[in-house]
Amino acid sequence: MKYCAVIPARGGSKTIKNKNRIKINGVPLIKYSLMHASFCKKIGKIFVTSDDDKILNLCNNYNCEVIKRPKNISSDSATLEEVLNHTILFMKKRKLFADNIVLLQPTSPIRFSGDISKAINYYEKKKLDSLFSYVNFHSLFWKKKGKKLTSINYNPKKRQNRQNMPDYLIENGSIYIFKTKLFSKYNNRLFGKIGGYEMKKICIYEIDDPSDIEEFKKILTIYPKLKWKKNEK
C-alpha cells in the first residue's frame, strides 16, 4: 500500500470534555477527518488510534482499522511520535504496512475538498521525504512572557508596511505526510527533504476550547465548499 491515513484521537482533554467525539452540527468531531480520509482515493487504509472505546466504535462505518492505545501513551505528556511508533508496529504485525503516512489531526478539521489529494500530489511531484500543511501570513508577531511583550519578526522603532514583510508559514496541524521507514529512523514527523502545502487562511482554526466549536459551526455555514465530495482524485 502506498498511502495510509492515521488519525490520533485521545479520549481525554483538559479544555473540552470528550473533545474528539463532541458533536458539531450533529457530527462527532473525529468524523470530519474520517470523511476527509475516506473520500481521498489515494489513501488505501485508515488507522484510528485511541484509548477511548466510544471513539473507536464511531469508526465502525468506515473502512478503517481501530487501534486501542495503551495507557502509557494516552496521557497529556505522551508525544504524538510515541503514538505513531505504536501505530506503525500495529501495521507491521497486521501486514498492513504503507510506504507513506498521511497524518490527520481531528482537532484541525478545516480542510477543503481536494486538500489531501493536492498535498499528496505536491509531495510526490517534489519528491519529498516529509510535508506539513500551513497557512501563510504577512503579519507582525509578538510574544508575551508574563507581563513583558517582545516583538519577534520586526523592529517596532523601524516599522515597515505589513505587505513588505516576508512570508511566515504557520503549521496548522491539519495534514502531515511522511515516509514510514524514515519516520522510524528519525522518530520525528518532519525530516529529510521537507516541503509545505499551503492551505486557505481559514484553515488556521483548531479546536482547543469551547469558543472554537462555535467558530467551526459558523465556518461550516459560511464555506459550502467544506462539504466534501466522494472519491477525490
How many domains, in total, are found in the chain? 1
What is the reported pLDDT for 142?
Answer: 81
Transcribe 119-150 into DSSP letters.
HHHHHHHTT-SEEEEEEEE----EEEETTEEE
pLDDT value of residue 233: 54
Q: Is this prediction's pTM over 0.95?
A: no
* Distance (Å, whole) CA 49 – CA 10: 8
How far apart are alpha carbons 74 and 94 in whole angstroms? Answer: 22
Residue 233 falls inside a structural domain: no
All three cell numbers of 142: 509578538
At residue 167, the pLDDT reads 81
**The pLDDT of residue 108:** 94
Predicted pLDDT of residue 163:
72
Enter the C-alpha cell of residue 209: 476550547
Query: At 77, which CATH number?
Result: 3.90.550.10
pLDDT value of position 69: 92
Whole-angstrom Cα distance, residue 120 to residue 22? 29
Determine, yes or no, domain membership for 150: no
Tell me how far CA of residue 190 lies from CA of 45, 81, 92, 111, 200, in angstroms: 22, 11, 21, 20, 21
Q: Is residue 159 part of a domain?
A: no
Q: Is residue 147 part of a domain?
A: no
Q: Which residues in the chain come in under a pLDDT of 70? A: 162, 224-233
- Quote the pLDDT of residue 58: 86
Residue 53's CB is within 10 A of a number of other CB atoms, namely 11
Q: How far apart are CA 217 and CA 211, in angstroms?
A: 10
pLDDT (tens digit, 9 = 90+) per residue, 129-175?
A: 999 999 998 777 888 888 889 887 778 877 777 677 778 899 999 99
Q: What pLDDT does residue 224 have?
A: 60
Q: Which domain holds residue 55?
A: 3-133+169-226
Please report, for residues 39, 87, 97, 118, 180, the alpha-carbon distance to residue 93 in angstroms, rounded to integers and kept in the order given.
26, 10, 9, 30, 15
Q: Is residue 66 part of a domain?
A: yes
Asked if the structure places residue 63 within a domain, the reply is yes
Residue 127 belongs to a domain: yes
Tell whether 51 is covered by a domain: yes
